[in-house]
Amino acid sequence: MDKIPVILLAAGCSSRMGQAKQLLPWGNTSLIQHQIAMLNAVADPLIVVLGSRADEIKPIIANESVTLVINENWEAGMGTSVAAGVKQLNLFPNAVGVLFALIDQPLVNTEHYFKLIHTFRPGKKQIVASRPSAGWLGVPALFDSVYFDELSQLDGKQGAKTIIEKYANQVVSIDAGEQLADIDTPEAYKKLQLKRI
């Protein structure tokens, strides 16, 4: 049966936050546990890419149903985490695409992820990307398996958005509105906490 694995990118160091973003409280749990629960409701399998403070985070998610990847090269940038996650897809030979999610976008709901999945047409070289209320198309985004090789070769600061821009004529966009707001400062975290309630 065809599968669409999800890769949760959670390797960054959260330098502007001053603490591990992955372990921030979110509702009755931590941010990473919230994201894992959300994504496990959407798709199977779920691959989680850790890097910074992985030893702190691993025990917190030890009982979660995920394939865990440690990106030792996380400091080089997001592209290395994308590549590290995609290299695990050889464990799932029936993967027809891959969906990327970010640790710091907790407002993205299951409805939006399902829209991405239901819009996707395997074998059509499609990329289904999220459109914010303002700004560029980006992640969460779902890539056809034809892009796996290129995604696995990303490095440095170039993330999946590089592939979205390169193949713009293959992109289908799904409106995400304010859901794409991310946690990159303590102020942004407080603001999103209020939106969660």
pLDDT greater than 90 at residue 134? no
**Are 78 and 146 contacting, i.e. CB atoms less than 8 angstroms apart?**
no
Buried b (16+ CB within 10 A) or exposed e, 42-58: bbebbbbbbbbbbeebe
| pLDDT at residue number 159 | 87
Q: Convert the pLDDT of each residue in 31-80 to its tens digit.
A: 999 999 999 999 889 999 999 999 999 999 999 999 999 999 998 989 99
Residue of 5, 34, 40 lying closest to 192 (CA atoms): 34
Phi then psi dihedrals of residue 121, to 5 deg: -120, 105
Strands 97-102 and 138-144, sheet pairing: antiparallel
Residue of higher predicted confidence among 130 and 77? 130
More confident residue, 189 or 115: 115
Tell me the mean pLDDT in the region 15-42: 90
- Mode of pairing for the β-strands spanning 29-30 and 25-26: antiparallel
What CATH number has the domain spanning 6-196?
3.90.550.10
Q: Which of 41, 35, 32, 65 is nearest to 114 (CA)?
A: 41
pLDDT value for 50: 97
pTM for the predicted model, two decimal places: 0.95
Q: What is the pLDDT of residues 90-116, one digit of tens each?
A: 999 999 999 999 999 999 999 999 999
pLDDT interval class at 121 (50, 70, 90): very high
Whether the predicted pLDDT of 15 surpasses 80: no
Higher pLDDT, 195 or 54: 54
pLDDT score for 5: 97
Q: What percent of the chain clears pLDDT 70, i.e. is strictly above it?
A: 98
To which residue do tokens 């897809």 refer? 89
